[in-house]
Each structure stands twice: as structure tokens, then as C-alpha cells.
Structure 1
């Protein structure tokens, strides 16, 4: 019996390792996206009611932990201890998945229905971790499969991985039937038909949306994006601030000369405060006021400049010194008339540990523990923005006014952010495109010879952003420190090439280099079901998964009570 259990445990570990390997290879930069459609088959096959739930849960947790350690290695430079702690937490999702599938198999619930609901529910649960971690979903592996991802404008990214999970479930069920010597009868045929029709319908829908886009997409203004290549250690150095600003101005001049009407700078590349509330309280010759004046002069009679810097509210001390009583990660829009837009965008969803330490007010004891995991010995927390500020631009009073929304850093990974920008309260499209400014220099390694070693985070970040474009039929222009700066059209296609610029033509290869590009932004008039209704599929599946977990817990408690009753 002991030898049999050991052999069973080896099979479980081997199957889970196979799924973990495939789930690794499907994501960029490896890009073996076809494996996604069978990547869960080993995991489903070993989720057998005959296997010990304890063995399954422990094995799943161990393999999941190492899966996340390997695939989130790029967090190490930010916080090595936090990397381990985060992986310990997020590894809990695999045991939830595998035990839920086991329970459904035990209850004879068709896998074709159960597995997609469990997977979509679990991935949405993962995305809810402190509100930000929508990362490495199976749908993200399909970012370059333009046809299949078009259903995201109805169901979001969840629609894509619902289909992927359905195909995996069907394959696993057919294998189980063959292994058990079960004949191919009407129920099995029905399942094949359901999966085939669903997949065919999704492909047909995707082709239809692509073909009709020419009727709804018009050409917008020339928009430029600057990509810096600044290590985080250098960026934080006071001596480098002026040099970085000078280089940004040079790139800005090149893009403006090429005809760019709007030029986008990466997140927080200006290492000073540009908020007028603070600047008005400071001496005119402080760095912030000097940079502000230079930006106004560079925008005057040339272009709009969207710059990432610090925002905040001033507090005047008794000695007349100025401190920030509020501090934001912000985007400021400078205009060709030499003024700055009075409304700035303050980042709404902050990155835990990167931009704030959670539980400061609600759980001080936990906050102190978490602070010890960060690389800083002071509280660097920012304040949360509250307004979805819509930026406006027009060449002159008689020209068309274009509108766009700004997503800072990982806000482009959160479906609700782009959705909330897309429509006005009356359900009408209120912006023409989206902008993503980010600093991914945290996740790029520079050696002593200043050679660059980009991580897998860069390509994966761009892949996630693709779905915000499709969900809302909005082009996304990305300006990212260390890459990947690019334009994504409303069909989710990462655009290679540009009208002008010096970055590589292949967009996904723009990693660990500096430069700029400028191109006409496409404007799609279509209003999507997703923009109106959001993550209905994700939430529905999460509710179903929650109910399934409760039923499992009640069944487990009932079993324990029954055993105790028999003993008594």
C-alpha cells in the first residue's frame, strides 16, 4: 500500500510539473501559445476522486509555489523577501483549483462545464489580490492570436480563457473515457459538438469584428512616445535628474519635428513635483518650477506633452518650508499655448509594496511587518487618486478636440480602469484612445558595463495591455522606461513599424533600449458590451466557485461529524 501511494504521489508531481511547464512556455517571451489549449490536461487527469485530497492539495501547493517563484523572478530586485512571501500566498490558488475539479468529478458534474467555471473563477480571484494582480492568465498567452481574442469586447479576457479551459476539459474527458474503456456515445458526442460550436462561433465572431473595423475606424492625430532606458538605481540618483530631463527634451524635439501633436513621456521620469499647488508655494528657482517653465516653453507652438511626475498638496511649516501632505503618482498635460492643463491624472490603483505599504491604518501590526519586507527604511507610500481625468487636445480653437485617458504603470493590467475611462455616464464613448505610461526599469538588470538584461516582465506587461484595447475598442499608446513602448490598435494588434522614429520596427523587441516613435493613432467608434457591463463572466464564475468551495467545506464537515457519530 505504501509503495502504491508513493507511485501515485510521483504521478501527481509529474502531472502537475507538466502543466506548470506548459503554463510557463505559453506566455511571452517563449510564446508557445498553442500549448495553452492542452496545458491543463495533466492537472485535470490527476484530480481524481480516488486520490487523497490531502496529497493533491499539498502537491499542488508545492508545484504552484515553485511555478510562481520561477515566473516572478523579476520581483527579486524590488524585494526578495516580498517575492517569496507573495509566491507563498498566490500558490494557494492551485490547491483550490485541483480540489474543486476533484469534487466535481466525484459528483459526476461534466468537466466541460465545471473546469471553465473553476479556472475563470480562480483567475479572477487571483486578480483581486490587493486589487492589482491580473497577470499570467491563460488568455494573455493568446495576445497575438488576433481572431480568437476579439470576443474580449463582450466577455473580457475571461471569455478567452473560458474557451481555453473548455478545450482542456474536453481533451481530458476524452482521455479518461479511453483509459476507462468507455465507448463514445451520445453524451460524449454532445460535448464535442458543444466545444466545437463554441470555438467556431468565437472564431467567426472574431473574423466578423476584424472585417467590419474598416467601417468604424478613422485615422487620428500623430502621437509620439518616448522610451527611456534608465536603471532604477540611476533614476533615483539626484545627480541624474537633470541629465534624464535633458535627454527627454532632445527626444521630444525629434518627435515634434516629425509632426507629433502629442508626445508622451514615461512614468515618473521627471524626478520632481509639477503640481501647481506645490510650485506656487515654492521659490521660482526651485527645480520643479524650472522644469515646469522648460516644459511649457517646449510645448509652446509645437505640441502637447504628457509628462509623468509627482503630484501633491503642499503643507507650509512654521519655518516656511514646504512639505507634501499628499503625494501622488501623476500625469501632467502641457499645451501648445504655453499653459498646463489645470486637471492632472493621479494614479488610482497603486501597486502594493512598490507604491504603498498596505494596512497602515487598519492593521498597524501587520503594516510594520510588511514594512520590514520592503527595501526602504521609511514610509514611501503614495496617496490614491480618485478621479478618472479625461485629457483633451486640439491644435487650435477651430480644430477637432481629441480626448484620451491615462493609465499609469500596472493600471493597464486592470480591466476596470480602462472600462471606467471608456464611457461617459450616459454610456457614450468619451475618449478616443488610451495612454499607458510606465516605469518597468524596476525589472531590468544592468551590469557594471551598463549592459542590459531585460526580464520576461516587459513582454508580458505588453501582452496584458492588448486586452484593454480589444475590450473597449480603444487604441493604446505605451511609453515605457526600458520598454516595451508601442501602439496597440483597437483590434489588439501590436503595431510594428511607425511613421517616424528610431526604435526597432519589431515592437516586441523594444526592450532595454532608448528611443522614440510617432504614428497616427486609430480611433474606433464602436461601443462594446464589455465597456457597458464589465467583467460579468469573471464575477459570475467567481461566485460559482465560491459556492462550490462552501459546498466542499460543508461536505467535509458533514463527513467528519458522521464519522464521530458512528464512533460514539
Structure 2
């Protein structure tokens, strides 16, 4: 490689690295959200090198892979194979963006127009591989910017990313024009458009916030229980009784505030609570004992939503019982000491964490992937299919029926899950609020009695904020190891509570156990996003595909001319 070319590639590689560092710092945990508005400028500038170069694409890929490996390192706590596969896939998106930005540059398409389309499309493509990973959007960095994120009820989180990317593109346009000493009239027009859209988003956001009071009513008191059990302890199944005892202890403490509903985290009841199975088991089995203890507590006057295992039992000829279907599930226990007629079976499963892919489509690949899992058996769960909406009676109006849905684990990171719960029949709202139960004990490490929380806990909470805004529903989170909190329908993570033992500041509830109870706000507004979902994301993805096709055709045409 010639010295001049090497210096050019090195300079542009450094630009990629600067963007990667900025993108790291903007997200929750670090919280330098203001950097988001310039974080992609170095990347966009680096795409403008005049001569095409394989090394440029390679540099983009390497930096991108390292970025993802470093920023979702905690996924490796669950599945090293899944972490590596996902990171090497996500790394491909930067070279794709380089190609698309270079095409835009060659056709003199302003970056302020190209950047929002291409970046939102790339974020969307994150979530289309192995069932989705909608994480670390530009938008997610703005979870505290309550006014700005209100546009998510029209455009989704992608709309916020769109605006941020447009600002990045405009700044890149200005820098490049200044470098070339060109007084670009297009920059003046672009600046006007960017300023108008940003102002419009702020005005809209303030309007939506100001009207909230007339659309929100006070709902029932809901208690959220937060256990603090590291996954290594939970996985051993040697502490199942102690875990249940702790959950009940916190629940009985919360009873002093008379909650209408008590919520437990995902899978913290280490048993199968499907009544078809319970009817086949001896009363002395742990499954029956756990079920009876939960019923005893709920019969004292509260609904209880618990995370456990679901399944379909089958009795063999020799009398043995096995589960022919197995689910990650949520069960509702009623104040009369019974289980609700249906339980929710998790619809979106985590690849490699809950399901090994290709079991039916490519069995040989499935068997190969099994060699890299931490277990010597196939732990694949079955996919749920029904958006089960639970009903309860309580609150100030004793006879009023409330409806709510449950998002388990990373289902709150998948926009369509919350959307599909929220859309009811006849255009009415399907639920009054949503729950997110999760086991984030996977992502906490304990060292010499110290709790070391990973960045996942804060990032997970930030992502959940957008489900609340998109659908105008409050979300109550009950999360093992944290962060359990209440997020209202405008996306505010509520500090403090009506009663409780957890830290007052919501984002400090990491690596601790306890509970809080608060009255859930019910918002009657229906949103454009709830009806039409990620329409902007899909539109931008279509735009990226057109950019790629046009770029490939253009490259081939230029080769023929040469």
C-alpha cells in the first residue's frame, strides 16, 4: 500500500474509532447524551474518501465489530456463541453504511437527507436477524430528553434517531463544504429544514406533555418486587426455596400498603405452574408447594403476577410425566386463591439464551450450535403465540375491570410486542398498562460481597421508556437485580414511590433487593404508532435497499465505461 493511501485509510479508521467511542458514551450508564448529535459526524466524513478502497470497508467492519463486542459484553455472560455471532453480524452494518454514504456523496445527495434514512435503516436491520436486537439506537441515548422523545408516539424510537441522524448529516455537510471552501446554498436550505423539524419536534413534545393531565387518571396501587439473585445461584436450583421465601417476604412487606396487584420478576419461581401438570403431581413436589404458597398469599387480597415455567405435560405408558412443550411464562393469581384461566407464554425468545436456532430448518446446524452452549441438553423453549391480556378488579372503583399485558425479559426491546398488546378491538386501547418482568441477574457479578452491575441494566431501562411513549401506556418493571421502576406514559422514569424499601432514585436500584408500590397512571390516548407500528423504520429500510441497488448498478456502469 502506498504511503499516501495508507495515511488516508489510517485517518478514516481513526474517524470510525472516534464515532465508536462517542456512540459508546452517549448511552445510559455513561449518559453523555449530548454527544449523540455529533457522534456520527466522523463516520460520515470518513465515507467521503475519493477513491474506493477495500481497506476502508475492512476498517469499518473491524471497528464496528469491536464496538459491539465491547458494548454488549454482558451478553457473553449468557451465551458466548450468541454474543459472537450477533456482534459479527452487527459489524456488517457499518460497511453497508459506508457503501451507501459513498453512493450518496457521488450523486451529490446531501448528507442531511441521506443520513437519517440510512442510519434508521441500519438500526432497524439490527432487529431483523435471529428474531431481533433493537438496542443502542441513537434515540435510546435521549431517554431523559422527555420533550424530544414524544414524537415516538407517531414515528417510534426510529423517529428520534431520524432527527438526530439528520443533524449529524447536516453538520457533516457543513464541515465538508467549509473544507472545500464552497458557499453551499444547499446548506442554508438544509439548515432551515433541520431547524424547522427540530423545533417542530420540541413544540409537539411540549404539547403532548401539557395535555397529559386531562387524559390520565389514577389507577390501582401496584407493588413491584425486586429480588437480587445472581444467575449462578438461581441456575443451581439449590436455592429455589430461599428465593421463593424472599419473594414472599417482600410481598408480605408490601401488603402494608394494600396493593391491588403484586408483581414478581421473570422465572424467579423455579417450577412449572401449569395446572394441567400440577394435577398430575404429588402435593409434596416443589411445583405443588410453590403453587400453594403463592395461592395462600394471594388469598389475602391481592392479585399476584409471577414469572415461572409453563408447559404441556404428557403421561407416558410407564406412568412417567414429561413436558412436550415448555414456555417462559407469566401466571396471574387472583385474590380468591386461584390461578387465572390463561397464562402468558413468551412470544419473543432470545436466540441462544432461550432457543437454539435452526432446529427444524437445518437440524445439522442446530446440532453443531449445541456444541457451543453451556449445557449438555437442548434447552430450547417453545414460542408463545397469544397476546394474553390479564384482567383484574381493584383500585378506587372497586368494580372496575382493568386490563394489562406482560412483556417478559427483552420483549420490551421489541416494539411490536408492546404495540400488539396495546391495540384492542374496534380501535380501543387493549390494555390500561404494561408490565415488564425480567431476570437481569444474568448481568450482575458479585465480588467480595460487592455487586458489580453491568451496563445492561441501565440500557434495558432506557429502551423500555420508548415502549411507554410509543403507545401512551405506563410500564411497571419488576426485575431481578434491577432496575424495577414505574415509567409513565410520557416516558418519565419515576423516582420515589407511594411506599417501598428500594432506593428512592430509580436508576440506583441496581444489585439490590426490595420492593416499591405506586399508583399506576392510566392514559386513554391512542397513538399513530400503536396502529401502524414501525412504518418509518420499514420505509427507511426500503430506502437503504434502493441506495444499495443504485450504488451497485452505478459501479458496474462505471466499470463498463472504463
Measured against the shorter chain, the TM-score band is over 0.9
Residue 17, structure 1, aligned to residue 17, structure 2: yes
Q: Describe the superposition over 1:247-288 as per-residue Cα deviations: whole angstroms up to 9, x where unpaired.
A: 111101111221211000000000000011111121222111
- For 1:315-326, list aligned pairs within 5 A: 315-326=314-325
1:415 aligns with 415
Task: Tell me the distance in 1 between the aligned counterparts of 2:170 and 2:466.
Answer: 26
1:480 aligns with 479
**What is the CA distance between 1:560 and its match in structure 2?**
4.5
Which runs of 5 or more residues in structure 1 are unaligned?
A: 564-568
SS of 2:427's equivalent in the other structure is coil
Task: Tell me the distance in 2 between the aligned counterparts of 1:302 and 1:226.
Answer: 17
2:300 aligns with 301
SS of 1:50's equivalent in the other structure is coil
Task: Tell me the distance in 2 between the aligned counterparts of 1:215 and 1:85.
Answer: 48
**What is the CA distance between 1:13 and its match in structure 2?**
1.1
Larger deviation: 82-91 or 332-341?
82-91
**What is the CA distance between 1:51 and its match in structure 2?**
3.5
**What is the CA distance between 1:360 and its match in structure 2?**
0.7
Mapped contact 1:82–1:373 kept (Cα < 8 A): no
Q: Describe the superposition over 1:329-362 as per-residue Cα deviations: whole angstroms up to 9, x where unpaired.
A: 0000001111110110000000000000000110
**What is the CA distance between 1:321 and its match in structure 2?**
1.4
SS of 1:70's equivalent in the other structure is helix
Task: Tell me the distance in 1 between the aligned counterparts of 2:305 and 2:421.
Answer: 17
Mapped contact 1:153–1:473 kept (Cα < 8 A): yes
**What is the CA distance between 1:395 and its match in structure 2?**
3.4
2:242 aligns with 243
Q: Describe the superposition over 1:504-533 as per-residue Cα deviations: whole angstroms up to 9, x where unpaired.
A: 011011111101000000000100010011
Larger deviation: 365-374 or 538-547?
365-374
Mapped contact 2:170–2:187 kept (Cα < 8 A): no
1:498 aligns with 497
SS of 1:202's equivalent in the other structure is helix
Normalised to the residue count of structure 2, the TM-score between the two structures is: 0.98
Task: Tell me the distance in 1 between the aligned counterparts of 2:336 and 2:275.
Answer: 17
Normalised to the residue count of structure 1, the TM-score between the two structures is: 0.97
Mapped contact 2:82–2:351 kept (Cα < 8 A): no
Task: Tell me the distance in 2 between the aligned counterparts of 1:369 and 1:548.
Answer: 36
SS of 1:76's equivalent in the other structure is helix
Task: Tell me the distance in 2 between the aligned counterparts of 1:522 and 1:149.
Answer: 19
Mapped contact 2:299–2:337 kept (Cα < 8 A): yes
Task: Tell me the distance in 1 between the aligned counterparts of 2:509 and 2:394.
Answer: 30
Mapped contact 1:269–1:308 kept (Cα < 8 A): yes
Residue 277, structure 1, aligned to residue 273, structure 2: no
Which runs of 5 or more residues in structure 2 are unaligned?
A: none
Task: Tell me the distance in 2 between the aligned counterparts of 1:270 and 1:167.
Answer: 47
**What is the CA distance between 1:237 and its match in structure 2?**
2.0
Mapped contact 1:49–1:103 kept (Cα < 8 A): no
2:151 aligns with 151
SS of 2:338's equivalent in the other structure is coil
Residue 76, structure 1, aligned to residue 73, structure 2: no
**What is the CA distance between 1:79 and its match in structure 2?**
2.6
Mapped contact 2:220–2:394 kept (Cα < 8 A): no
Task: Tell me the distance in 2 between the aligned counterparts of 1:74 and 1:486.
Answer: 22
- For 1:158-557, list aligned pairs within 5 A: 158-185=158-185, 187-395=186-394, 399-447=399-447, 449-557=448-556
Number of residue pairs matched by the alignment? 561
Task: Tell me the distance in 2 between the aligned counterparts of 1:53 and 1:165.
Answer: 25
Task: Tell me the distance in 2 between the aligned counterparts of 1:369 and 1:552.
Answer: 37
Task: Tell me the distance in 2 between the aligned counterparts of 1:41 and 1:239.
Answer: 52
Mapped contact 2:147–2:202 kept (Cα < 8 A): yes
Mapped contact 1:113–1:166 kept (Cα < 8 A): yes
SS of 1:129's equivalent in the other structure is coil
2:43 aligns with 43
**What is the CA distance between 1:555 and its match in structure 2?**
2.9
Task: Tell me the distance in 2 between the aligned counterparts of 1:91 and 1:260.
Answer: 46
**What is the CA distance between 1:49 and its match in structure 2?**
5.0
Task: Tell me the distance in 2 between the aligned counterparts of 1:432 and 1:499.
Answer: 20
Mapped contact 1:49–1:106 kept (Cα < 8 A): no
Q: Describe the superposition over 1:95-145 as per-residue Cα deviations: whole angstroms up to 9, x where unpaired.
A: 111111111000111211111100011110111122220011110000000
**What is the CA distance between 1:450 and its match in structure 2?**
3.6
1:566 aligns with none
SS of 2:304's equivalent in the other structure is strand
Task: Tell me the distance in 1 between the aligned counterparts of 2:115 and 2:451.
Answer: 41
Mapped contact 2:153–2:472 kept (Cα < 8 A): yes
Task: Tell me the distance in 2 between the aligned counterparts of 1:288 and 1:51.
Answer: 66
RMSD: 1.4
**What is the CA distance between 1:561 and its match in structure 2?**
4.9
C-alpha spacing 1:364/1:554, structure 2 compared with 1 (3 Å): farther
Larger deviation: 480-489 or 370-379?
370-379
- For 1:108-119, list aligned pairs within 5 A: 108-119=108-119
Q: Describe the superposition over 1:367-401 as per-residue Cα deviations: whole angstroms up to 9, x where unpaired.
A: 12221221111100000000000010103996111
**What is the CA distance between 1:364 and its match in structure 2?**
1.3
Task: Tell me the distance in 2 between the aligned counterparts of 1:182 and 1:395.
Answer: 67
SS of 2:88's equivalent in the other structure is helix
C-alpha spacing 1:115/1:217, structure 2 compared with 1 (3 Å): same
Task: Tell me the distance in 2 between the aligned counterparts of 1:225 and 1:188.
Answer: 51
SS of 1:131's equivalent in the other structure is coil
Task: Tell me the distance in 2 between the aligned counterparts of 1:218 and 1:164.
Answer: 33
Task: Tell me the distance in 2 between the aligned counterparts of 1:559 and 1:274.
Answer: 65
Mapped contact 2:81–2:352 kept (Cα < 8 A): no
Mapped contact 1:26–1:141 kept (Cα < 8 A): yes
SS of 1:438's equivalent in the other structure is strand
1:64 aligns with 64
Task: Tell me the distance in 2 between the aligned counterparts of 1:441 and 1:556.
Answer: 50
**What is the CA distance between 1:203 and its match in structure 2?**
0.2
Task: Tell me the distance in 1 between the aligned counterparts of 2:219 and 2:15.
Answer: 50
Residue 142, structure 1, aligned to residue 142, structure 2: yes
